[in-house]
Amino acid sequence: MPEDVAQEFRASVSYTPLQRMRHSTAHVMAEAIQDLFPGAKFAIGPAIEDGFYYDMELPRTLTPDDFPAIEARMAESVAKKHAFTQTKWPREQALAYFRERDQPYKVEIISDLPDAEVGIYQQGPFLDLCRGPHVENTGQIGPFKLMRVAGAYWRGDEKRPMLQRLYGTAWFTQEELDKYQWQLEEAKKRDHRKLGKELNLFTFSEDIGPGIPLFLPRGEMLRHLMESYVRDVQERHGYQHVWTGNVGRVRLYKQSQHWFHYRDSMFPKMQEDRDLKEGETPEEAEDNSFELKPMNCPSHITLYNSQRHSYRELPIRYAEFATLYRYEKQGELSGLTRVRSLTQDDSHIFLRPDQVQDEFGRIVDLVREILGTYGLTDYSVRLSLPDLSDREKYHGNFEIWERAVSDLRAALDSKGMAYNAAEGEAAFYGPKMDLMARDALGREWQLSTIQLDLFQPENFGMEYVGEDGQPHRPVIIHRAIMGSTERFLGVLIEHYGGNFPLWLAPVQAMIIPIADRHLPYAEQVADRLRKAGLRVEVDARSDRMNAKVRDAQMQKIPYMLVVGDKEAEAEAVSLRLRSNENIGAVPLTLFLERAMDLSRERSQALWVTEAPVGE
């Protein structure tokens, strides 16, 4: 069965109670659509993470103005408490029924199902092809809301009909629905694309091309601060930073197998401007052409293989902030979270099999330290493991696989980290850990990834000299903490709502002279703070002081330092916080001391009134 349709018929059997209720709400919504739009043709209507949808072909385009009428009809069905009843129909009976009612998408789905019988669910007058499960009756459906309508190609194929996808959400209680709607409104305010423009962080240009972000000075400073912090932590944990360029030959990516698995997501190859050499085939010419680098592992493996290594050297930890290029479909691009030019905080660790558990534990410590500094402390772990009963599915020595699985579990257990183990979800070349972090709005993001690789060491003939003097095969751990600088920055902008902690703020203080005659003192203050390492600007405009303060607050700058006659005479500043708290007059020396301490400690606090940090 095609994967796009299978999601409703296969995954539905594992629906949670909330998903079951949402799936039932999708059927009630389809019932209302059928009543209001005779001739509607229905495709699929599954539950999704935060609600449900139904794909439909309708006689006209839906708009939000249609939602109240649809919701009213849905409420009528809920009030009538129609029972959801299931029956099994022979395939031919179901085909005949849906053909007679001109439901081509249901006919196509049934034709792809392997079963002799298909499931039919009915509530009130509405009958649908469905495996279920559902709630007992429509009266068990909780508060719901229609959210939006979008286009969706049938089966995701742009050559097939464009259907209308009507999204909704449903919850057990009105309180949960209200909270969800508040989160959506708050998410709009925090949208990194909106804030990125307002805070002068980044932009996109059609002259450069879609999916390639351009960073303004404040945005570049954010990148620099983020990457410098991760680099410092990595060096403390024994990583060596390398650099491997922006292009590689096609043959390198063929050897790593990426060419065959990810070719559609790679930029078009760059053929050398020359004729074929004597005896050279077109395939050989293709192998020697160049490709914008889509991933780092083949380059880091090449670095490893450029030298001989002893077991005493391992583990070797290579790290690189490398710009990679992936030709994502234009419709899938989304601000900084899905781009074509990305900077990955990538690392590859080459180690002996007996070092896996210890190294995995080290990486977990590294991840927790970095994410904790950013205030991302609510996370869960998804561990993708092999199905150990299916030895044919996985590459390499199965004893190493069994040991690797045991080591990964032991490492997480030793760190006291709970995890969800997904048996059978490991790639053919090794098990993987994904860290799923929740932001300030409770949304889940897949951030850090740790992947054990038992395939590429053999594929590239990697070796180290063991204690016995013989060549041995290392294993590789692929590891990314932020994933990519761009995506992680997008997550942080929304997590903080643009209110970055002091250490991460591109501009930490705006100095605001009350009148033009106070500008020389403002420049003196700025010079002293800059020399100490703070990032400051002076607002020298002739606007009124209150307007300057308001503008600095809109830019979410942590500190506004207002200076006038009294401040100049006392060598002080009048301190206001972006939270609109007015601290008042503070000696310049004291302000500098406390601000530097808070920044150096990477504190989440903006100001400590009682005493400097560390006292």
Residue 72 lies in a domain: yes
Q: Are residues 557 and 574 in the same domain?
A: yes
Q: Would you mind telling me the total number of residues written for the chain in this entry? A: 615
Asked whether the predicted pLDDT for residue 11 surpasses 60, the reply is no
DSSP 380-412: EEEEEE--TT-GGGS-S-HHHHHHHHHHHHHHH
DSSP state of 613: T
H or E stretch covering 587: strand 582-587
Q: Which of 182-191, 269-278, 542-551 has the lowest mean pLDDT?
A: 269-278
Q: What's the pLDDT at 269?
A: 65
Q: Are residues 256 and 343 in the same domain?
A: no
Among this protein's residues, is 348 annotated catalytic? yes
Confidence bin at 444 (pLDDT 50/70/90): confident
Give the residue from 475, 496, 517 where a domain finishes: 496
Q: Which residue has the higher pLDDT, 286 or 175?
A: 175
Q: What's the pLDDT at 10?
A: 45
Residue 122, both tokens: 């009915």
Residue 545, both tokens: 């002081």
Q: What's the pLDDT at 452?
A: 86
Residue 215, both tokens: 């960073």
**DSSP 3-state assignment of 536?**
strand
Please return the burial class of 53, using the count of CB atoms within 10 Å of its CB with bins 0-12, 13-18 and 19+: buried
Q: Are residues 333 and 413 in the same domain?
A: yes
Among this protein's residues, is 432 annotated catalytic? yes
Sign of the CA dihedral with 562 first, then 568, 569, and 575 last:
positive
| Set 27, 297, 453, 556: catalytic member | 297
Asked whether the predicted pLDDT for residue 429 surpasses 80, the reply is no
Q: Are residues 70 and 121 in the same domain?
A: yes
Round to whole Å and give the CA distance between 285 and 278.
Answer: 11
Asked whether the predicted pLDDT for residue 262 surpasses 80, the reply is no
Q: Identify any residues that bridge with 249 across adjacent strands, giving them in sequence order.
A: 290
Q: Are residues 412 and 334 in the same domain?
A: yes
Round to whole Å and give the CA distance between 568 and 526.
Answer: 13
Residue 529, both tokens: 């703070």
Check: CB of residue 289 under 8 Å from CB of residue 272.
yes
Please return the burial class of 175, using the count of CB atoms within 10 Å of its CB with bins 0-12, 13-18 and 19+: exposed
Among this protein's residues, is 478 annotated catalytic? yes
Q: What's the pLDDT at 348?
A: 95
Asked whether the predicted pLDDT for residue 374 surpasses 70, the reply is yes
Q: Are residues 358 and 253 in the same domain?
A: no
Q: Are strands 47-48 and 162-170 parallel, antiparallel or unpaired?
A: unpaired
| Set 66, 128, 346, 539: catalytic member | 346
Residue 375, both tokens: 């205030």
Residue 207 lies in a domain: no
Confidence bin at 396 (pLDDT 50/70/90): low
Round to whole Å and give the CA distance between 512 and 560.
Answer: 7
The rounded mean pLDDT for the chain is 89
Asked whether the predicted pLDDT for residue 390 surpasses 80, the reply is no
Among this protein's residues, is 326 annotated catalytic? yes
Residue 214 lies in a domain: no
| Set 134, 192, 362, 432: catalytic member | 432
Q: What's the pLDDT at 351?
A: 94
Round to whole Å and give the CA distance between 15 and 45.
Answer: 14
Compute the average pLDDT of residues 120-137. 93
Q: Are strands 464-465 and 444-453 parallel, antiparallel or unpaired?
A: unpaired
* Alpha-carbon separation of residue 202 from 59, 181, 205, 504 (angstroms): 42, 28, 10, 16
Q: Identify any residues that bridge with 449 across adjacent strands, giving them in sequence order.
A: 434, 480
Asked whether the predicted pLDDT for residue 488 surpasses 70, the reply is yes
Q: Are residues 434 and 538 in the same domain?
A: no
Q: What's the number of CA atoms in the CB half-sphere (13 Å) around residue 82?
A: 21
pLDDT in tens, 211-242: 999 999 999 999 999 999 999 999 999 999 99
Q: Are residues 587 and 441 in the same domain?
A: no
Residue with tokens 């206001």: 576
Give the residue from 462, 496, 530 where a domain finishes: 496
Q: What's the pLDDT at 277?
A: 67
Nearest to 249 by CA among 277, 287, 276: 287
Please return the burial class of 367, using the count of CB atoms within 10 Å of its CB with bins 0-12, 13-18 and 19+: buried
Residues 313/475/262/394 CA torsion (nearest 10 deg): 180
Q: Are residues 340 and 428 in the same domain?
A: yes
Round to whole Å and give the CA distance between 243 and 345.
Answer: 12
pLDDT in tens, 523-532: 999 999 999 9
Check: CB of residue 467 under 8 Å from CB of residue 311.
yes
Residue 217, both tokens: 């000075």
Q: Are residues 449 and 392 in the same domain?
A: yes
Output the domain CATH number for residue 513: 3.40.50.800
**DSSP 3-state assignment of 126?**
strand
Q: Are residues 348 and 457 in the same domain?
A: yes
Compute the average pLDDT of residues 8-32. 82
Residue 333, both tokens: 């691009």
Residue 364 lies in a domain: yes
Output the domain CATH number for residue 406: 3.30.930.10
Give the residue from 496, 513, 548 where a domain finishes: 496
| Set 192, 223, 478, 548: catalytic member | 478
Proportion of the chain in helix, strand, coil states, percent, rounded to 5? 40, 25, 35
Asked whether the predicted pLDDT for residue 172 surpasses 50, the reply is yes
Q: Which of 273-277, 351-355, 406-410 has the lowest mean pLDDT?
A: 273-277
Compute the average pLDDT of residues 114-142. 93
Q: How many domains does the chain have?
A: 4
Q: Which of 96-100, 238-242, 287-291 has the lowest mean pLDDT?
A: 287-291
Q: Which of 314-328, 363-377, 378-392, 438-452 has the lowest mean pLDDT?
A: 378-392
Asked whether the predicted pLDDT for residue 14 surpasses 70, the reply is no
Round to whole Å and give the CA distance between 170 and 202.
Answer: 36
Residue 450, both tokens: 């740790």
Q: Are residues 324 and 453 in the same domain?
A: yes
Residue 614 lies in a domain: no
H or E stretch covering 193: helix 192-198
Output the domain CATH number for residue 112: 3.30.980.10
Q: What's the pLDDT at 78?
A: 96
pLDDT in tens, 547-602: 999 999 999 999 999 999 999 999 999 999 999 899 999 999 999 999 999 999 99
Compute the average pLDDT of residues 119-145. 94
Q: For the chain, give me the number of helices (H) and strands (E)?
A: 20, 27
pTM of the entire predicted model: 0.81
Nearest to 129 by CA among 114, 156, 151, 107: 107
Q: What's the pLDDT at 1?
A: 45
Please return the burial class of 238, using the count of CB atoms within 10 Å of its CB with bins 0-12, 13-18 and 19+: middle
Among this protein's residues, is 565 annotated catalytic? no
| Set 134, 348, 518, 548: catalytic member | 348
Residue 75 lies in a domain: yes
Nearest to 408 by CA among 383, 434, 386: 383
Which one-letter amino acid corresponds to residue 246? N
Residue 530 lies in a domain: yes
| Set 344, 451, 456, 555: catalytic member | 344
Q: What's the pLDDT at 3?
A: 47
Which one-letter amino acid corresponds to residue 217? P
Among this protein's residues, is 181 annotated catalytic? no
Asked whether the predicted pLDDT for residue 275 surpasses 70, the reply is no
Give the domain range for residue 126.
3-189
Residues whose CB falls within 8 Å of the CB of residue 236, separated by 6 or more in sequence, listed in order: none
| Set 41, 326, 479, 576: catalytic member | 326
